[in-house]
Amino acid sequence: MRHSIALTIGPASFRIGSAWPAPIAQLAHLYRAYPTPPEGIADFTVRLEPSKPWRRHIRPSIHITGDHGLADAAPMALAHGLLAAEMGMNLQMALGWRRHLLLHASCVEKDGRALVMTGESGSGKSTLAAQLGERGWRLMGDEFALLDLHSGQIFAFPRLISLKNAAISVMEAEAAPDRFGPLLRATAKGDIRHLSPRADAVARMAEGAMPALLLFPRYGFAPEIRTVGQGEVFMRLTQASTNYTALGEPGFTALTRFVQTVPAHAIDFPSGEDAIALVEQLWAEAR
Amino acid sequence: MTVPTRYRAAPATDLIVRALDDITLIYHRPSSQTHMVASPVPEILDALRTTPLTAPLPEREGPGVGSERSEPPAHATQTPAQILTTLSTHFDLGDPATARPVIAAHLEEMVALGLIHRA
Amino acid sequence: MTATLLVQTLRDPASAARLSAPDWNALIAAARAERLIGTLAYRLEHAEVPAPVRPILADARTEAVREARQALWEADRARAALAPLNIPVVLLKGTAYAAAHLSPAQGRFIGDLDILVPRAALDAVEAALIAAGWEWVKPDPYDDAYYRQWMHELPPLIHRDRDRMIDVHHSILPLTARPKPDAAALLTDSIPISEGSLKGLRILSPTDRICHAAAHMLADGDLSGGLRNLWDIHCLLTDLAPSEDLPTRTAHHGLTAPVAQAQRLARHLYAPHEKPAPLPLQDRLIAKRLLATNAWGQETQKPLRMGYYLRSHALRMPPMMLARHLVTKWRKGHRG
């Protein structure tokens, strides 16, 4: 491939090849504080290829693939190349990672203990984690939390935070401009802007933390806290995991232990400030 | 009269059973599948798994009782009627005429999943 | 052509000691692209490899063990569904290798469950599988009719709960293909599995396994996944007892040419040797196609690949039938 970069995010490393220079240059800028793969050997290969041979120059169109790919993945515009690269890395993790149970969840850490938040896209979990990450918590990830199969610790996967629509201006008010990627207008998920995690989140990305609280946030409702039964927690977490089935028995053992030991609540909130207040309240109670 | 089907539990090493606060999880090793089950499925499994090979069975129907075999299976086999009797010592199952087809249906579902076997 | 690196490392695991970091990246990408990462991981189980490679290979081995367990469970469910029919049920390909602990099984990716049954029992097999929870995958009546009229298998079925596919074959090549393997002899000479939960199922005889693997690779497919198929053939040939008469059997099935070609290719690419023996021209083209993966795991040699798709169809179907098939496909494609 003509253009490439190699980087390590948490326990996983990637080499990303691209037919075009722009996505690689953007990655190089936003991931500037991240290490390269150990000994130069990456866990996964990601490729950003022209969707048809002639689509490298004429109306460039990116096909995302790599070691693991989806046959029916929709091609993307070159202007959204950074998003394509991020999706390519997510795809490798979702389909290929086996060293942890992968939970589709955001995660922050304080005093060596982790708060895990999971929910559908639009639930506010990503924005909430991004905000907490600027307010005294360590951001461990806005998309995946990695549950260790043996120790029960959560490990970080702090890739770029993917801010969508209204969350973009919320975070523009909190973080320095040089941590932001280009504004990507009119993607399949609306407007998207990527944000580099804070330096401490990157420097400490290899540190695990025992999970202390699990939340199911829901944005846009009157404030409410509900306890969630273990059966429902188990079911929702298997649905939120891309590799639960693939891990087999170790995944079952790790997830049942998580469900039996970590208190879980569903929280509804009408605004980001309400959410932060609810989280701090539940966090204090969980101690 | 037809001989009733007999059932026995899958080998203990095939299953991991974890009771959560509201439901029971069963991990089935040969299929790598997780099953979330509620009563009376865990109890049926218990009834089949805890029957010692030499225990006197409540009724004797037809051949094939575990203790008579040259190579006994890991668990004794039971008929649906025997399982119903065991369950009714722990549960109020209501009218046996209603309970019987329900238990029979559960048993066949459990066979299809590999949690128990037809003897 | 870095699949060369993959072939060389499978052939001679000790050569891994000489690999650079870019070599490793290329090797891992090629092994994943060819679905040989599990096989590679076992070949390198006791080799000195760089620290970051170790977990990648360990993951691949764990994955292969899990794959095999799931494949055997699927075979067990088919066994249970078909037991009342009292017919021979022969496991094919990956599941057969895993069930009988044959050497290609080690680390092998296993996809669908493939079974061979007597043609006369097809309707009963279909009914029994559907009663046990399998459902049709293809809703397209043309494809369905095509399968039933011309293919050596039922249209694929998928289990509604387990989401796994089963291919029910009554022969090892489509009815339209030029070679006509003796399906009855495949069944008659198959070998029962004598132990474990799959007791009652059968596998092909040692020579028929090679006939099937070669027919599948060279007389049937478009050569995609060819390096893996050829690895199977290499292992099966290595394990073949000297007393077995392979030439007579391949002649009986009309598969002398593809089996001989598979033997030449397997020897050329996988057998330990100092310097590979020269290959005839048509073999060289196939070898080139097999090795057409670059350092990023991409397929190169696209025109060659297209050629093989046509070749594959031409081999399976006489020309008039091919035209009919392509036209029907084409019309459908343009109607959207």
Structural element, H or E, at residue B106: helix B96-113
Distance (Å, rounded) from C-alpha A90 to C-alpha A88?
5
Q: Which residues of chain B make contact with C76, given a CB cutoff of 8 A?
A: 30, 114
Please give the angle made by the CA atoms of A143, A138 and A274, to the nearest 5 degrees: 75
Q: pLDDT-based confidence at C332, cuts 50/70/90? A: very low
B9-21: pLDDT as tens digits: 889 899 999 999 9
- Calculate how close chain A gets to C255, using CA atoms only, in Å: 34
Task: Kindly report the number of other CB atoms within 10 A of residue A115's CB atom.
Answer: 28
- Across the range C181-193, mean pLDDT stands at 96
> Residue B51 falls within a domain, yes or no?
yes
Q: Could you tell me the two tokens for A20?
A: 């075009």
- In chain A, the residue whose alpha carbon lies closest to the alpha carbon of B28 is A249
Q: pLDDT-based confidence at C309, cuts 50/70/90? A: very low
Distance (Å, rounded) from C-alpha B19 to C-alpha B38?
10
C63 and chain B: CB distance < 8 Å anywhere?
Answer: no
C115: closest CA among C55, C62, C36, C171? Answer: C171
- CA C266 and chain centroid, separation: 14
Distance (Å, rounded) from C-alpha A264 to C-alpha A240?
15
Q: Identify the top-confidence range among B100-114, C79-93, C169-183.
A: C79-93
- In chain C, the residue whose alpha carbon lies closest to the alpha carbon of A99 is C59
Q: Is the pLDDT of residue C336 over 50?
A: no
Which pLDDT does position A173 carry in this prediction?
Answer: 95
Q: pLDDT-based confidence at C292, cuts 50/70/90? A: confident
Residue among C21, C33, C296 minimizing CB distance to A41: C21
Which residue ranges form the domains of chain A, and what is each CATH number? 3-96 (no CATH), 100-158+197-286 (3.90.228.20)
- In chain A, the residue whose alpha carbon lies closest to the alpha carbon of B31 is A248
Which pLDDT does position C322 carry in this prediction?
Answer: 52
Q: Is the pLDDT of residue C224 over 80?
A: no
Which pLDDT does position B7 carry in this prediction?
Answer: 92
Which pLDDT does position B67 carry in this prediction?
Answer: 40
- Across the range C69-97, mean pLDDT stands at 96
Contacts of C263 (CB under 8 A, 6+ apart): C233, C237
Q: Is the pLDDT of residue B65 over 60?
A: no
Which pLDDT does position B62 carry in this prediction?
Answer: 43
* CB-based contact C70 B31, cutoff 8 Å: yes
A168-209: pLDDT as tens digits: 999 999 999 999 999 999 998 899 999 999 999 999 999 999
Q: Which of residues 11-30 of B touch C (CB under 8 A)?
A: 29-30
- Calculate how close chain B gets to C80, using CA atoms only, in Å: 9
> Residue B50 falls within a domain, yes or no?
yes
Distance (Å, rounded) from C-alpha A255 to C-alpha A243?
12
Distance (Å, rounded) from C-alpha C179 to C-alpha C259?
12
Domain extent at residue B67: 7-118
Q: Bridge partners of A163?
A: A193
A248 and chain B: CB distance < 8 Å anywhere?
Answer: yes
Q: Mutual orientation of helices C226-239 and C3-11 as an angle, nearest 10°? A: 20
CB A265 within 8 A of CB A285: no
Which pLDDT does position B64 carry in this prediction?
Answer: 40
* CB-based contact B112 C162, cutoff 8 Å: no
Which pLDDT does position A59 carry in this prediction?
Answer: 84
A164 and chain B: CB distance < 8 Å anywhere?
Answer: no
Q: Is the pLDDT of residue A136 over 90?
A: yes
Which pLDDT does position C288 carry in this prediction?
Answer: 85
Distance (Å, rounded) from C-alpha B112 to C-alpha B118?
10
C66: closest CA among C100, C34, C29, C107? Answer: C107
Which pLDDT does position B69 carry in this prediction?
Answer: 39
B32 and chain A: CB distance < 8 Å anywhere?
Answer: yes
Q: Which residues of chain A make contact with C298, given a CB cutoff of 8 A?
A: 47, 49
> Residue B2 falls within a domain, yes or no?
no
A73 or A2, which is more confident: A2
Q: Is the pLDDT of residue A225 over 60?
A: yes
**For chain C, domain boundaries:** 3-335
Q: Mutual orientation of helices A81-96 and A21-30 as an angle, nearest 10°? A: 70
Q: Mutual orientation of helices C141-150 and C319-335 as an angle, nearest 10°? A: 170
Cis peptide before B40 (omega within 30 of 0): yes
Q: State the total domains in chain B.
A: 1
* CB-based contact B31 C197, cutoff 8 Å: no
A62-85: pLDDT as tens digits: 999 999 988 777 899 999 999 999
Q: Is the pLDDT of residue A139 over 80?
A: yes
The fraction of chain B above a pLDDT of 70, given in percent, is 77
CB C27 within 8 A of CB C10: no
Q: Which chains touch C (3 or more CB pairs under 8 A)?
A: A, B
- In chain B, the residue whose alpha carbon lies closest to the alpha carbon of C162 is B33
Q: pLDDT-based confidence at A51, cuts 50/70/90? A: confident
**Terminal-residue alpha carbon distance, chain B:** 19
A270 and chain B: CB distance < 8 Å anywhere?
Answer: no
* CB-based contact A234 B21, cutoff 8 Å: no
